[in-house]
Amino acid sequence: GNSVTQMEGPVTLSEEAFLTINCTYTATGYPSLFWYVQYPGEGLQLLLKATKADDKGSNKGFEATYRKETTSFHLEKGSVQVSDSAVYFCALRYGGGGSEKLVFGKGTKLTVNP
């Protein structure tokens, strides 16, 4: 079945450090890929998305590229801020057969220290 595997956390970085959170997926067909973020005490928010191979999603300085050959969608940011501290979830949506559900990874908790 469809599944998402993402880097185990927690991840702790200093402000202005480079961030990578790895995400790989297993899916039949051509899923859409997402990164969601959950700030403390808040609901899930869509951070960025990519709907086909080689697409790059970007938002708020975060980027991720849909790599079909490696079935990956790694999240990167060149310089993290304290305000980026949150839990990040990689997810896929496989539209084949009419399914609309999102399949999530377990989440990676990021803490950025000043």
Partner 1 sequence: DTGVSQDPRHKITKRGQNVTFRCDPISEHNRLYWYRQTLGQGPEFLTYFQNEAQLEKSRLLSDRFSAERPKGSFSTLEIQRTEQGDSAMYLCASSFGRASYEQYFGPGTRLTVT
Out of 28, 46, 52, 96, the only residue in the binding site for partner 1 (CB under 8 A) is: 46
Residue closer to partner 1, measured from CB, 19 or 90: 90
Angle at 33 between CA 23 and CA 109, to 5 degrees: 40
DSSP 16-72: T--EEE-EEEE-SS--EEEEEEE-TTS-EEEEEEE-STT-EEEETTEEEE-BTTTTB
51 binds partner 1 (CB under 8 A): yes
42 binds partner 1 (CB under 8 A): yes
Segment 93 to 112, residues that bind partner 1, using CB under 8 A: 93, 98-107
Nearest approach in angstroms of CB 71 to partner 1 is 18
Nearest Cα residue to 21 out of 3, 33, 42, 35? 35
Site mask for partner 1 (CB under 8 A), range 55-84, x = bound: ------------------------------
DSSP 8-state symbol, 13:
E
Positions in the binding site for partner 1 (CB under 8 A): 4, 32, 36, 42-46, 49, 51, 89, 91, 93, 98-107
